Amino acid sequence: MASGDSAQGSLLRKIIWRLSVITGVVFVIVLAVLTFQFYSTVDTLRDRSLVSQANDVANHLDMDSAGVPGLRLPDVLAQSYARLGGEFSYVVMNADGEVLFSLDGDKKRLSPFGLSQSSMEISYFRLPASAGKKLERFGATVPVRRHGRLFWIQVMQGEPHDDIMLDTIVGESFTSSGWMVMLLFSALLLINIVTIRNGLKPLKTASRQALAIGPSATDIRLPERDIPAEILPLVRAVNSALGRLESGFKMQRKFTADAAHQLRTPLAILTARIGKLKDPDEAALLKADIRMMNRIVSQLLKVAQLEALTIRADERADLSAVCVEVVSYLGAYAIDQRKSISLVGAEEPVIVSGNAETLSQAIGNLVENALNYTPVGTVVEIRVGDDGKVTVRDHGGGIPPEQRELVFRRFWRANSDVDGAGLGLAIVSGIVRAHGGKIAIDDADPDDQGRRGAVFTMKLPLPGGGVARPSGF
């Protein structure tokens, strides 16, 4: 048993494992994107920083009244250059390349370059590490115009500090790659949802199978294959309970059937002995009682058979033929009671999905029930519809709405004066349910005498959901 649990795996472990793998993959992708962003933006950030420094210096170039240029850096900027003089430097040159101002007062350019009055492009240079400068240095030559005159400004810096570069790159990454990260994590969320749904599919399958379990299908069990280890003990416990319920149902059905069979023999003996009685009136009364007992025994047998009834999907029955058979069978019974039966709509076949024998029992019980309650001299009307409906109408007192659900319960009787054990309509309801149909009770329209009576409507499924009457009739 343990090996089976291990093979099917834990739902929690599956979810954690899959999410961990997916998260790891996403993390690697994000890390790769950030690494690429880092290396692709370092040079850009450095160049941008150099140009920004040159513009800061240019913004403080000024001219006196004689046209002599001057450089007046703010104290904060001057102190920054003085403090970082080993790493940062600047030189301001006129249009001819003559050094006018520099950080250390030296009149040397930071890097040689060719003067071009027509070229106003920024050029960049790199100075390798040397004995005095252990770090590689980077610089830019930026042309600017101030007060109508051209100046060349050279700035230089060493490798930027890691914390400054990191802050800058993080800011750049959120600006340029933030949408990509959001897209990746949205994809991660979607994948997580799909993963969890796939992990719970076996539970949905078990739920659908559980809906099919009922009194007529007690042999169905919940599937244990692919069920997560956390749910498997519950599924097995439910299957075990279903097994015990099935055994109980079988014992009940067997008892009902055995009891009915065992009762038939003494009833037959009683019938034979009653025939020897000298008083014919007493014998007739006893024979009527025995007929009632025989009928109850037969109904008990039908109930036992009904609980195990299953209708095959390919079974077909002709409602018209079934109703004609019922009328032929109960015609004599109706005449004996000075009542009659009419049948409408049975001229053509009406094909439904179902078993003809059990449908004959159901419709026969409905007609017999109607004959028991309709007054002498009235007609029990049977109507067959081409949509798979059969209606049976009597002219009795009808059934109150509050009793319409009760009449289908076993042994429930609305009128104790009428012969019967209260099983006939319960059998009808069971047969209709086994066929996947429906049955309903309504008040009938008033007849000439103002009697409404009751209408029982039985609706049966059509083959493939099509038309009940075949074309060509």
Whether 167 is covered by a domain: the verdict is no
- If asked whether residues 286 and 326 sit together in one domain, one would say no
Give the pairing type, strands 351-353 and 389-393: unpaired
- CATH number for the domain spanning 341: value is 3.30.565.10
- If asked whether residues 254 and 375 sit together in one domain, one would say no
- CATH number for the domain spanning 299: value is 1.10.287.130
CA distance 429 to 427: 5
- If asked whether residues 142 and 264 sit together in one domain, one would say no
- Of the candidates 402, 453, 403, the one whose C-alpha atom is nearest the C-alpha of residue 425 is 403
The last residue of one of the domains, among 160, 186, 211, is 160
How many independent structural domains does the chain possess? 3
- If asked whether residues 303 and 332 sit together in one domain, one would say no
- If asked whether residues 132 and 251 sit together in one domain, one would say no
CA distance 333 to 330: 5
> Three-state DSSP class for 154?
strand
Whether 244 is covered by a domain: the verdict is yes
- CATH number for the domain spanning 73: value is 3.30.450
CA distance 92 to 192: 60
> So what's the pLDDT on residue 468?
44
Whether 80 is covered by a domain: the verdict is yes
Residue 420 backbone zone (phi > 0: left; psi -120 to 50: alpha; other: beta): left
- If asked whether residues 287 and 403 sit together in one domain, one would say no
Whether 84 is covered by a domain: the verdict is yes
Whether 166 is covered by a domain: the verdict is no
CA distance 432 to 447: 29
- If asked whether residues 340 and 282 sit together in one domain, one would say no
Summarize pLDDT for 254-293 with one digit per residue, the tens: 666 666 666 666 767 777 777 777 777 777 777 776 676 7
Which range of residues forms the domain containing residue 71? 59-160
Whether 198 is covered by a domain: the verdict is no
Whether 441 is covered by a domain: the verdict is yes
> So what's the pLDDT on residue 131?
58
- If asked whether residues 285 and 355 sit together in one domain, one would say no
The last residue of one of the domains, among 252, 287, 307, is 307
The last residue of one of the domains, among 105, 140, 160, is 160
- Give the 3-state DSSP-derived string for 213-252, with helices as H, strands as E and coil as C: CECCECCCCCCCCCCCCCCHHHHHHHHHHHHHHHHHHHHH
Whether 373 is covered by a domain: the verdict is yes
- If asked whether residues 367 and 453 sit together in one domain, one would say yes
- Would you write out the chain's pLDDT as a tens digit for each of its 473 residues? 444 444 456 666 677 677 777 777 877 787 787 777 766 677 777 888 889 889 989 999 888 888 889 988 888 888 877 776 667 888 999 888 889 998 888 888 888 877 665 567 888 888 887 656 667 788 899 999 888 888 999 998 876 544 445 555 555 555 666 667 677 777 877 787 777 777 777 777 787 777 777 665 667 788 888 777 777 888 888 888 888 877 777 776 666 666 666 666 676 777 777 777 777 777 777 777 667 676 666 666 666 556 555 666 678 899 999 999 999 989 888 998 899 999 998 888 999 988 888 899 899 989 988 998 889 999 999 999 888 899 999 988 888 888 888 888 776 766 655 555 567 788 888 888 888 889 999 888 877 777 778 899 999 988 875 444 433 32
- If asked whether residues 283 and 325 sit together in one domain, one would say no
- If asked whether residues 334 and 287 sit together in one domain, one would say no
- If asked whether residues 422 and 297 sit together in one domain, one would say no
- Of the candidates 153, 89, 147, the one whose C-alpha atom is nearest the C-alpha of residue 120 is 153
Which DSSP symbol is given to 446? P
